Structures are given as structure tokens and as C-alpha cells.
Amino acid sequence: MSEPAPSPDLWAAPRPHDAVDRVVSLPGSKSLTNRALLLASLADGPSVVRRPLRSRDTRLMAAALTALGTRLEDQGDDMAVTPGAWDRDGDVDCGLAGTVMRFVPPVAGLSSGTVRFDGDPHMRLRPVGQMLAALGALGVHIDDGGRGALPFAVHGAGAVPGGTVTIDASASSQFVSALLLAGARYEHGVDVRHVGKPVPSLPHIEMTVQMLRHHGVEVDDTDANRWAVAPGPVAAADHDIEPDLSNAAPFLALGAATGGRVTVRDWPARTTQPGDELREILALMGCEVSLADGDLTVVGPQRLSGVDLDLHDVGELTPAVAALCALADSPSHLRGVAHIRGHETDRITALATELGRLGADVTEREDGLSIRPAVLRGGVFRTYADHRMAHAGVILGLAVDGVLVEDIATTSKTFPDFASAWSRAVLGTAGAGPGAAP
């Protein structure tokens, strides 16, 4: 990985003064919010998305749907979504949001205008080619200059034939989710068959399937690696957005890494969010984990244990888990996440580089990391515009003096005002809004 120049934008990660005992409420899930907004836009009438996340990724999704012709209105904490006539040309800024770059083009195929897509510089490197090829096979006209990457234009024809398509979705589950989300509105629906190495992040595809069914769409997912969406209307339906359980990772780590206690409010009893897996991961690391009446409580041990984990299904948890592993007193092996090299940054190399810079004993592997106990030191923790790298940095800062996290504002991708919420959680100072209540 090329070494970026050190940024002057360094944030001193707070260290708790004493054992923490906190209760936190977290903002809504990015993955649920962006699916809910998109499905409501495809529906046959208005819907309300209750307590959506308001962060960079969801604002980009809202702007993209507005560019297509959907009407989105804030109603207090909620958002009212009224489908519109998709009859215009438009521009979509994907930022660094995988959900915008992958979920919106299949929908743009249904419009009768040309929709141009671009994003942050790094977004041009994130994988989307297989999905564009699959969309082409389903009858959507796409001009990507042969790059298989941003920037590209979707020339909507007002309708999409759809049908059966084969795709290698081993780079991202979002390829499959994207085709399924729009598929009911295609003339023949979609029948998506994956061929290739295993698809990562399967809980996110399950999330897509469940949310489609919530809108009355018929989905057949009986066979492995095949998902068929029947053609038909998408019924209007309201959504209650759960808190973002992946963004709970640093807050639960606060309890785990300090021998303290942290409770996250409104933890769903059942969910498709991969962050729910944190309960098991933290228990394996030696934490006491309990879920009662919607409160998830984690009590950290004296010393964290290392873990040997295949994170293929829950790859977005890797940065936070890797940071905790660097604080553990036995070795860890994190496996099965080659695909996270295509996330906001190459997360495997970024973690190996940044944990290593602070003294961690890390071996980078093609599909993961091995991390052995070592004495850590303070220093700059670079984040590569990746919100979850920032989470990893602040977790190290819980146990190590002098950790300076670069560009903490990058957390705004999925968490509004993370730095204040984190300071309140760590230091126990009072504050309003999403985040910590001491």
C-alpha cells in the first residue's frame, strides 16, 4: 500500500480515567436505511421510514433517489418516501457508499433517462464490473467505457426485461442484493445464480430477502447460491430502522477492552444485521455478554483472549475485531475476508500497516490477519477515508496513550458526530443526542 502523507488532521483518541459503566443509544443501521429508502421508492404508494440513519451514505442514497424522481421528506425523526415518475436524466454521487454504487444502477435501468454515476476517487477502484455485466445481460444499457468501474452511465429505457443471470458475486454480496432489490419491477423478475468462490456477507443478502418480503415481493431462496424474485408490484410498507449493530462494535469494545461495562439500548431480539455476531465474538474473547429486554450488556474481562475466527459472513466487523485482538494476551487468526480488500480501503493491508505502526505483531495474509500479543505504543493511526479504520484506531486508544487518529470525521460515512459520541462514552461527560448517556 502506498503511504499517504501524514495528515495534519489528527484526533487524540480519549482514554478512560477509570472503569467505565455506560449506557449508549446508537443511530440507525446504514444497511437497513438504504434498503428501506430504495424499496419505498420502488413501491406502489407512499411509505414511511422510521428513525432512518442520517449520515453521509444515507444522504447520498436519498440524493440519488431524488435525482431519479422520488420525493423524500423529513418528518421529525422519520422520513416519508413518495415514489415518483422516473422520467429524467440525473447525476448520482456514490461517494464511498457501496450501497449507492451497487443498489441504484439496477433501479436507474427502470427510469426513462440517462443517469450518470461517479464517486470519491477510491470509489473508482471498488468492484462493480461483474454487477454491471449482469445488469447488461438482464437488458439494462450501460456505458462504462469498458472499465467495469465508475464512472459509468445507465441509459434507462423505462422498463427492463430481466430473467435469469449468472454472476460471480465473490467480491461483494451487494452485487446480489442490488439485482434482487430492483428485480420484482423487471418484466420477468430476476433469477440470480452465483458461480465462483463463496459469496461473502450472506446475512446482508438475507436482509435484502426479508425486506423484499416485507414489501410483499415473492423471493425463492431455497437453493444455495440462487435467488429468484418473481415479477410484480412492490407494495408500500413502512420500516422501523434498528440501531446499527456494526457501529456498536467500538462501543462494546469500550467495555471489552477496559474491563468495564457497556450497555447498548434497543438491541433487536432477532435481526439480519451481521453486528449481532459481536455477541458471540466478544464472549469468545472472554467478555460476559447478556441480552435482556432489548439491552445488550458487555462486561470486559481482566485480559482479553485472542480468537481464531472466520469472518467471511461478517467482514465489516474485521477492523474493530482486529483492534481488540491487538489488545489480547494470546494470538488471534482472522480468516475468510479476502473481499474486504475491496471495501472503503484495502482493509487487510491497512490494518496490518496501522496496527503494526503502533507496535502490534501482525502478519498480513491473503484472506486475513494473524495478530500476536505485543506491547503497543502511541502514534498516528491512519484511516484511509475508512470509517471502520477510525473505529479500530479509537479502540486502540482505549488502552494505549497517545493514539492520534487521522481524519476522525471520516466516521460520518455511517455515524453522525461520532467523535462527540465517542468522547462522551469514554470519558463519561454528559451530552445530548445519539451516543452515550453516562
Ligand X SMILES: O=C(O)C1=C[C@@H](OP(=O)(O)O)[C@@H](O)[C@H](O)C1
Ligand Y SMILES: C=C(OP(=O)(O)O)C(=O)O
**Residue list for the binding site for phosphoenolpyruvate:** 30, 98, 126, 174, 347, 388, 413
Amino acid present at 282:
L
In the bound state with ligand X, the residue whose beta carbon lies nearer, of 192 and 287, is: 192
Residue whose entry in the numeric block shows the C-alpha cell 454515476: 117
Which listed option, ligand Y, ligand X, none, makes contact with residue 339 (CB within 5 to 8 Å by class)? Answer: ligand X
370: contact with ligand X by CB under 6 A: no
Candidate residues 191, 221, 242, 316; the one interacting with ligand Y per rule CB under 6 A: 316
DSSP β-ladder status, 368-372 and 435-437: unpaired
DSSP β-ladder status, 261-264 and 295-299: antiparallel
31: contact with ligand X by CB under 6 A: yes
User: How far is the C-alpha of 253 from the C-alpha of 296, rounded, in Å?
Assistant: 13
Q: Site map for ligand X, 338-357, x if CB under 6 A?
A: -x------------------
In the bound state with ligand Y, the residue whose beta carbon lies nearer, of 119 and 156, is: 119
**Binding annotation:** 30-31, 35, 98, 126, 172-174, 201, 316, 343, 347, 388, 413
Stretch that binds ligand X, among 45-53, 200-208, 259-267, 289-297 (CB under 6 A): 200-208
Rg (Cα) of the chain, in Å, rounded? 21
Q: Which helix (H) or strand (E) holds 191?
A: strand 190-194
Kindly give, in sequence order, each residue whose CB lies less than 8 Å from that of residue 209, ignoring residues fewer than 6 positions away.
180, 219, 221, 227
Which listed option, ligand X, ligand Y, none, makes contact with residue 111 (CB within 5 to 8 Å by class)? Answer: none
Stretch that binds ligand Y, among 97-105, 214-222, 329-337, 370-378 (CB under 6 A): 97-105
Amino acid present at 148:
G
Which is the catalytic residue, given 242, 277, 316, 354?
Answer: 316
Candidate residues 47, 111, 170, 201; the one interacting with ligand X per rule CB under 6 A: 201
Contact 403, 358 (CB under 8 A): yes
Q: Site map for ligand Y, 40-79, x if CB under 6 A?
A: ----------------------------------------
In the bound state with ligand Y, the residue whose beta carbon lies nearer, of 414 and 423, is: 414
108: contact with ligand Y by CB under 6 A: no
| φ/ψ bin of 139: left (φ > 0), alpha (ψ from -120 to 50), beta (otherwise) | left
DSSP β-ladder status, 308-310 and 332-335: parallel
Q: Which helix (H) or strand (E) holds 335?
A: strand 332-335
Q: Give me the phi and psi of 114, to 5 degrees please.
A: -100, 125
Site for ligand X in 93-112 (CB under 6 A): 98-99
In angstroms, the Cα distances linking 235 to 83, 218, 268, 365, 388 are 11, 11, 25, 46, 35
Contact 140, 162 (CB under 8 A): no
Candidate residues 130, 177, 272, 370; the one interacting with ligand X per rule CB under 6 A: 177
CB of 201 to ligand X, least distance (A): 3
47: contact with ligand X by CB under 6 A: no
406 is catalytic: no
Cα-Cα end-to-end distance for the chain: 40
Sheet order of strands, 152-155 included: 90-93, 114-118, 152-155, 141-143
Contact 79, 37 (CB under 8 A): yes
Which listed option, ligand X, ligand Y, none, makes contact with residue 388 (CB within 5 to 8 Å by class)? Answer: ligand Y
DSSP three-state, residue 343: coil
In angstroms, the Cα distances linking 11 to 8, 14, 184, 252, 397 are 9, 9, 46, 21, 11
Candidate residues 204, 388, 391, 424; the one interacting with ligand Y per rule CB under 6 A: 388
Which listed option, ligand X, ligand Y, none, makes contact with residue 169 (CB within 5 to 8 Å by class)? Answer: none
313: contact with ligand Y by CB under 6 A: no
Candidate residues 98, 255, 260, 275; the one interacting with ligand Y per rule CB under 6 A: 98
Stretch that binds ligand Y, among 96-104, 179-187, 298-306, 365-373 (CB under 6 A): 96-104
The site for ligand Y, by CB under 6 A, has a size of 9
Cell of 32: 437497513
In the bound state with ligand Y, the residue whose beta carbon lies nearer, of 127 and 189, is: 127
User: How far, rounded to the nearest angstrom, does the alpha carbon of residue 279 sit from its chain's CA centroid?
Assistant: 18
Which listed option, ligand X, ligand Y, none, makes contact with residue 29 (CB within 5 to 8 Å by class)? Answer: none
Cell of 130: 461483474
Count of residues in the chain: 438
Candidate residues 56, 194, 312, 343; the one interacting with ligand Y per rule CB under 6 A: 343
Which listed option, ligand Y, ligand X, none, makes contact with residue 97 (CB within 5 to 8 Å by class)? Answer: ligand Y
Active site residues: 316
- Catalog residues that contact ligand Y under the rule CB under 6 A: 96-99, 316, 343-344, 388, 414
- Catalog residues that contact ligand X under the rule CB under 6 A: 31, 98-99, 172-174, 177, 200-201, 204, 315-316, 339
